[in-house]
Amino acid sequence: MESLKEMCRGLPLDPLPENRGRDSRVPHAPARTPKLSSEEKKLALQNSLRYFPPKFHKQLAQEFAAELRDYGHIYMYRFCPDIEMRAYPIGAYPCKTKQAAAIMHMIMNNLDPAVAQFPQELVTYGGNGQVFSNWAQFWLVMHYLSQMTEEQTLVMYSGHPMGLFPSHPNAPRVAITNGMVIPNYSSREEYEKSFAMGVTMYGQMTAGSYCYIGPQGIVHGTVLTVLNAGRRYLGQDDLAGRVFVTSGLGGMSGAQAKAAVIAGCVAVIAEVDEAALLKRYKQGWLMEITDSLDCCIQQLRKARRNKTVLSLGYRGNVVDLWERLVREYDTTGDMLVDLGSDQTSCHNPFSGGYYPVQLSFPEANLLMARDQEKFSELVRDSLRRQVAAINRLAEKGMFFWDYGNAFLLEAKRAGADVEKKGAKNMEFRYPSYVQHIMGDIFSLGFGPFRWVCTSGDPQDLAATDLIATAELEDIIKKGVAVSVKQQYRDNIRWIREAGKHNLVVGSQARILYSDQKGRVAIAVAINQAIADGRVKAPVVISRDHHDVSGTDSPYRETANIYDGSAFCADMAVQNFVGDAFRGATWVSLHNGGGVGWGEVINGGFGLVLDGSKEAQNRAKMMLSWDVSNGVARRCWSGNTHAYETIRRTMDEADNLIVTLPHLVEDSNILERALHGH
């Protein structure tokens, strides 16, 4: 087994490591079907071999050709490190800078088998959210980070380390781009080819930016979504006895079970992959599991009747679950579900993100590799059946929303009945959760702020929880606007109780929805705690790309932008650029994430707090921009919450001047002007 020191020496070539192949103890990504021509296959091999001296080409070419043939991509399994992959304490990494060691900590967390969906394929979550494209890239990145000084920046091209380039201490230590292809070639088909050839990569959101923190990463957002869905659709705060039905437990969707328990409802979550289901059960994120629909309905009825909290994992296809709920209604008149959604990886429906109801899990994986056209048709038929069942229950009072995973978009493409009469092309029969539930939260400047204690010590995380609680309580004590008071109350309740919910999987991390004022206050206070020795090691602050400013996605984050700019990506690109020169330790910009390749541009950052005055100044400047950019854009689109928020922020910040819109008060003048009256 390698040590961290050995892992940082560069590609192991003398001798080549033993080819141990794929590890049967961990789940693996489905085989891909990129449909390469003969010349493209040669190019894929050629591109993979350029990481190695010519004397190894003959031997490795045979292996890599077999991987390309069998799995549709060259992962370089021989070079998967023989080390316990996890987030080690920052002091264990042999680096010249704390910033580089912190980035190593984050990378290894993304690939930890307890965290990653398909660790040997370097997939963190979402079915195809890559950290790197192959294992050679991992070795080179770790080597470069170990050598890096504060006068260098590591440049990353879609998983490939282009190299260390001269820069300066205030520049980002790493600059990442993933999937930045020319727009006219940003199709799903072109992506499959380009990824197989090793020239681009789907980084999802926080996979390719090294900022994933396990399913906890969206637990707080999912809790807020379910709570606010109850308030909006059911008119109540107390969800005891209310039933939430959804699907997906593999990656970030694994948060749904824990979130439902925290929200106090009954949740039934379908998952076709037994390994994913058991993983969440063993981690304590699922209370009970079953593979019987009869048992599922029986337990659901009992929990609903007794108003007991339950997270039940059903090993089976969600279409079967929805259709059974319809039959229960038709035969007994009992509406057994109140709220519904879906978190399958529908951005990737034909490559393992969505499994058709007509086949078992093994049968589906086999057909996916052998007959992509037939598999795709079964997926489309399955989507149509799922929507038909949802529609039937929705007509009787169940409330359904799209969770931003491209479910309704792919259902529409499959011919399912999801059209909304008289709607724009971005709107469906059911709303996106951003449109009805979370959009106002973003417009108020609240989003998924995160931090990671690189000491790996739970005591440090507990200390930061107390710090965050104190800072939020102090802000609300000094007075906040009526429009954000409920958000602060929800967030204070969340952070007070976070420790008891056993949310940590992998690194010692925390997620907390917060606005600009809260983020800055928490970051400054944590930085001071590091300086004082109350927190023992540097802390990385970050956020999900799914945030106020980080993502332009017309079917999710910007679904409530109605001025025609929802398909424009200026906000996410400006965020990436602005974070880079305002103090971020690393920055990333991605094509794809959440709703799929070609459907979204998103970016993120990591910033290392080390207790220094410089770190405090960087945090203040960068976090302020990172939130205000998105609020200003949402204000300009006509959102009243964002207008009020940015006005308050300008009153509090001396150097902030935002262009404010003058809204048309009488819409009749538009018609008259256009018709010459």
Residues 6 or more apart whose CB falls under 8 angstroms from that of 590 comprise 177, 178, 179, 203, 204, 205, 208, 209, 545, 601, 602, 603
Query: For 384-395, what is the mean pLDDT?
Result: 96
* CATH architecture classification, 444-568+606-652: 3-Layer(aba) Sandwich (3.40)
Residue 362 token pair = 């093994």
Task: Look up tokens 């820069």; give the residue.
Answer: 167
- The rounded distance, in Å, linking the Cα atoms of 304 and 227 is 17
Query: For 450-461, what is the mean pLDDT?
Result: 97
Residue from 261, 279, 229 nearest 125 by CA: 279
Residue 397 token pair = 């009072």
Contact 431, 439 (CB under 8 A): no
Residue 425 has pLDDT above 70, yes or no: no
Residues of the chain above pLDDT 70, percent: 98
Determine how many CB atoms are found less than 10 A away from the CB of residue 143: 16
503 SS3 class: coil
The residue count of the chain comes to 677
Tell which wins on pLDDT, 436 or 279: 279
Q: What is the pLDDT of residue 428?
A: 85
Residue 288's alpha-carbon distances to 148, 250, 292, 306, 650, in angstroms, are 47, 16, 12, 16, 50
Contact 148, 96 (CB under 8 A): yes
Contact 338, 400 (CB under 8 A): no
- The rounded distance, in Å, linking the Cα atoms of 454 and 609 is 10
Residue from 338, 366, 335, 341 nearest 352 by CA: 366
Alpha helices by DSSP H, 498-639: 516-532, 570-580, 613-636
Residue 427 has pLDDT above 80, yes or no: no
Residues 6 or more apart whose CB falls under 8 angstroms from that of 608 comprise 98, 99, 102, 538, 539, 540, 585, 615
Residue 580 has pLDDT above 80, yes or no: yes
Exposed / middle / buried, residue 474 (Cβ in 10 Å: 0-12, 13-18, 19+)? exposed
Written in H, E and C, the secondary structure of 248-265 is: CCCCHHHHHHHHHHHHCC
Query: For 653-662, what is the mean pLDDT?
Result: 95
Residue 574 token pair = 């400006």
Q: What is the pLDDT of residue 426?
A: 66
Task: Look up tokens 């011919």; give the residue.
Answer: 415
Task: Look up tokens 């709220």; give the residue.
Answer: 339
- Residue-wise pLDDT for 270-326, tens only, equals 999 998 899 889 888 899 999 999 999 999 999 999 999 999 999 999 999 999 999
Tell which wins on pLDDT, 528 or 217: 528
Query: For 652-656, what is the mean pLDDT?
Result: 92
Q: What is the pLDDT of residue 351?
A: 85
CATH number for 215-418: choose from 3.60.20.10, 3.20.20.80, 3.40.50.10730, 3.40.1190.20: 3.40.50.10730
What mean pLDDT is reported for the chain? Answer: 93
Query: For 433-462, what is the mean pLDDT?
Result: 89
Q: What is the pLDDT of residue 424?
A: 65
Residue 540 token pair = 């990385």
Query: For 205-212, what is the mean pLDDT?
Result: 94
Residue 46 has pLDDT above 70, yes or no: yes
- Residue-wise pLDDT for 131-187, tens only, equals 999 999 999 999 999 999 999 999 999 999 999 999 999 999 999 999 999 999 999
Residue 421 has pLDDT above 80, yes or no: no
- The rounded distance, in Å, linking the Cα atoms of 315 and 534 is 45
Contact 223, 149 (CB under 8 A): no
Task: Look up tokens 């090993």; give the residue.
Answer: 315
Residue 252 has pLDDT above 80, yes or no: no
Contact 661, 644 (CB under 8 A): no
Residue 318 token pair = 């969600």
Extents of the domains making up the chain: 4-173+186-197, 215-418, 444-568+606-652
- The rounded distance, in Å, linking the Cα atoms of 271 and 285 is 14
Q: What is the pLDDT of residue 420?
A: 80
pLDDT band at 640 (very low <50, low <70, confident <90, very high): very high
Q: Structure pTM? A: 0.90
State the amino acid at position 612 in one-letter form. S
Contact 619, 607 (CB under 8 A): yes
Q: What is the pLDDT of residue 364?
A: 93
Q: What is the pLDDT of residue 503?
A: 87
Residue 237 has pLDDT above 90, yes or no: no
